[in-house]
Structure 1
Amino acid sequence: MATGWETVTTSFAKADKPYGGGDFRIRGTQVISLKLAGPEITFKPADQLKNPEVAEPTEAWMNDSGERLNRSTVNFLRGPIDAGLTRTFQQRGQDAAWWYSKDWGTLYVSTGWMDYKTPDAPNELVPQITKLWRSSDGGQNWTQLSWPEDHNIGQLLFLDSQRGYAIGWGPHVWRTANGGQSWHEVKVPPLADVGKPRKTFDALNLGPDGVLRAAYYVEQLGGVKTSSLIYRIAWDQQDFEQDVVLPNQTVVDLQSSPEATGGYSLYALSRLGAPRNWDDPSDKGRRTGALSVWGNAQLPNVQQLHTFDERLMLDGLSAGKQGVLLVYATDATGDGAPVDFTFISKDFGKSWDDLNDGAAQGGYFDPDTNTEYALFAYTLKKRKL
């Protein structure tokens, strides 16, 4: 199948140094981007080198990996696709999460920073300093919100500019109804927080009706063994309730179709079997992949739509309008470099085409327009599905 890409521009974010498109979004001719960037590294001229065949950084810290990580920053940029992007936010951090309203008027950004120069802690958990920011004018100006620095944020999911969730290590779930001015912690589902202190959910989804769903794997819960549980909570509920059980599966991604009138569909991309056992050298992590679907009604019926060859490492899933589905996967079983594939269905998962798109350096799928964007160096491409 032809890849169907159309070139949008060959100079995407070219002027921003160090280069990188970041996690970008496009609307019309405008771009917003949340970008993690290391410090710019410069090198001495040839006549100052001790060894003319070995490059030397201009300053000593540039040769220290810990110092480079400590100087990493989280950046927000906005501007026209072809005229260059303007940075309006920069804070130190090696990790970040964001949420933006449909009109891009309201944005939230969390930043996470660790000191990579500090000695190892007794529990091997280096503290992370987390900060939370909000903009109410499209990213032109930012206000830091009150947030406990030791509460990591891995995802921000909002219903609108005022109501939303922050989800972090543990896992923990916090809810705000006043634009992040105050937060209330929501009790997580049974056994979701059993295990390592920095455990996370396997996947999260906020449906078009504002229902939050969380997927996680359990060894056993009552009569349920080696399965992924998916729990749900509506905005007017105080506690999570069970949605579905996926027997003998480990969820990779969880997405909802954008339609809300008359209901919508939930899609789970999973690996069949237990999670990879990293303590067993013989377990290479290869599992048959599966895609399942169910509706947002009470007591839903789960159907398995498709399976994927175990040679593929499943990377993610997108769900669009009118039955468009995309599954992203990598084949690293060959002798050469890993090969990235996109599997596309336009009939609700009944039939699939696989595309070898090469190695993109970023991109996303817009479910409202069924448009996929991908960045190849400075070249931004799109395809309408």
Structure 2
Amino acid sequence: MLSLLTAVIAASSILGNDTNWESVSNDFMQEDRPYGPGDFRIRNDRLLSMKLTNPEVTTKPQEERSDPTKAEFTEQWMYSPGETANRRSVRILDGNLDGEIARRFEEPAQRSDWWLAPDWSTLYLATGWSDRTTEMPSGQRYRPELTQLFKSTDQGREWERLRWPEDQNITFLHFLDAQRGYLIGWGPKIWRTTDGGEHWNELPVPEGAHNPEDPREQFDLVALGEDNVLRMAFYDHAADASRIHALPWGEDTSQQAFTIPGHTVMDIAANTEGTVYVLSTQGTPYFSLPSEARNAPRPSVVWCWNGSTLQRLHEFPPELKGYALYLTPSEGLLFDGIDESSLLGNNVTAVSYDGGTSWQVEDEGRSAQGGYYDTRTGTRWRVSGYSLYQREIP
């Protein structure tokens, strides 16, 4: 009885006291090693996951060690961080919540991103890999990276490699549907396809987004709205403001829509009518700050752009650090973040159903290994340990 009570108390601590979670599975993806749920998606009782994983390392039995008091790896490469990094991979996992999980695809990768069609019929996957055991090329800041682009049209069971220049990084994928979409890479650069990835056209990006000293410069944020407009944000240090550009589908050149002085854009969500909601953090981008200033309080703020006016909707307390903003199925706003007031930091959500005037903050607890919010169904998924939970945020 005592052990059961302890388990209940522990679960309450992990999941928070203000939320109504429902347990779905107690051994979620437990058999795939090394353990980790990856970037998973659930549809009815079926799941797909894109999982970046480290290689498994093993140690010799005590009787086989040269010194029985010290652990020894079974293979020499396990001692090398570079060799270990080279053996990282991305997997596509497929299965049922109450059944076996199968590896459908695996490729060496140290970075990856994917796009999954709403009906799961089509998947795109981009991978990046560099040899971490070689010395840095003379006079260069970065090692060369090999980029590949893959596509599946049967829910991830079979894959084809699409034609793509291996020296052109792909960091993010944003698609309207299986045939039309964008790729965003270092530079920054943007490419567009209208024929399911058979051909790609590079589009111009705002001149101020480039950094001549850094060939791997990226946008602070790129988001595709429900209105089929691609929006990109970057910080203009000379103007001390974030610039948000908009690129409607079918147009080749983006136009500046609005700016947010003194804030870095963290996320953007736009509805079908083109109303834009922005989550920002006060101050310049994190890595542009001097090290001594990076831990200073930086409040998160939610804004609304209606096409002509920028309105400041709400500022959260400095200890609530926001990193995602969603539109719920019932046209609410969902703030996703971390409460950094505690030592370990708790996951929190805040929901507004009155256009951002008032917010209900909920503590989701600690120890999440993964999860996501499904903007189509209003279901929020969370993994703690080997357990999968769900709750509804309509």
Same fold (TM over 0.5): yes
Gaps of 5+ in 2: 1-16
Flag the 1:282–1:204 CA change in 2: closer, same or farther, 3 A.
Answer: closer
Distance in 1 separating the partners of 2:22 and 2:275: 30
Amino acid at match of 1:308: F
CA RMSD of aligned residues (A): 1.7
Moved more, 227-236 or 138-147: 227-236
Please point out which of 288, 294, 298 is paired with 1:287. 298
- How far apart are residue 245 of structure 1 and its match? 1.4
Output the CA distance in 1 between the equivalents of 2:155 and 2:315: 41
Q: Deviations over 1:166-222 (max 9, x none)?
A: 0001110001111111111000023011352111111111122321111111023xx
2:29–2:101 CA contact under 8 A, matched in 1: yes
Q: Secondary structure at the match of 2:84?
A: helix
Match of 1:4 among 14, 20, 26: 20
Task: Give the aligned length.
Answer: 373
CA contact (8 A) 1:374 1:381 kept: yes
Which deviates the most, 282-291 or 171-180?
A: 282-291
Higher relative contact order (CA 8 A, sep 6+): 2
2:367 touches 2:385 (CA, 8 Å); kept in 1?
A: no
Q: Is the 8 A contact 2:275 2:305 kept in 1?
A: yes
Question: Which of 251, 270, 274 is the aligned partner of 2:265?
Answer: 251
Question: Map of 1:356-375 to 2, 5 A cutoff?
Answer: 356=363, 357-375=365-383
Q: Is residue 311 of structure 1 aligned with residue 322 of structure 2?
A: no
**Higher share in helix:** 2
State the match for 1:300 in structure 2: 308
Matches within 5 A, 1:14-25: 14-25=30-41
Distance 1:241 1:36, change over 3 A: same
In the alignment, structure 1 residue 351 sits paired with structure 2 residue 358: yes
| Residue deviations 1:258-298 (CA, integer Å, cap 9, x gap) | xx3xx143221111233344435244253121011223xxx
1:160 pairs with one of 168, 174, 177: 177
Which one of 79, 83, 108 corresponds to residue 63 of structure 1? 79
Partner of 2:219: 201
SS of structure 2 residue aligned to 1:191: helix
State how 1:91-170 maps to structure 2 within 5 Å: 91-121=107-137, 122-170=139-187
Instruction: Work out whether 1:274 is the aligned partner of 2:304.
Output: no
Given that 2:227 and 2:270 are in contact with CA atoms closer than 8 Å, whether structure 1 keeps it comes out as: no
- Confirm or deny that 1:54 pairs with 2:62: no
Cα separation, 2, equivalents of 1:325 and 1:56: 51
1:340 — aligned with what?
347
Asked if structure 2 preserves the Cα contact closer than 8 Å seen for 1:36 and 1:73, the reply is yes
Length-normalised TM-score, structure 2: 0.90
TM-score calculated relative to the size of structure 1: 0.92
TM-fit CA distance, 1:301: 1.9
Matched, 1:235 2:242: no
Following TM superposition, the consecutive aligned residue runs of length 4 or more in structure 1 with deviations greater than 4 angstroms are none
% identical aligned pairs: 38
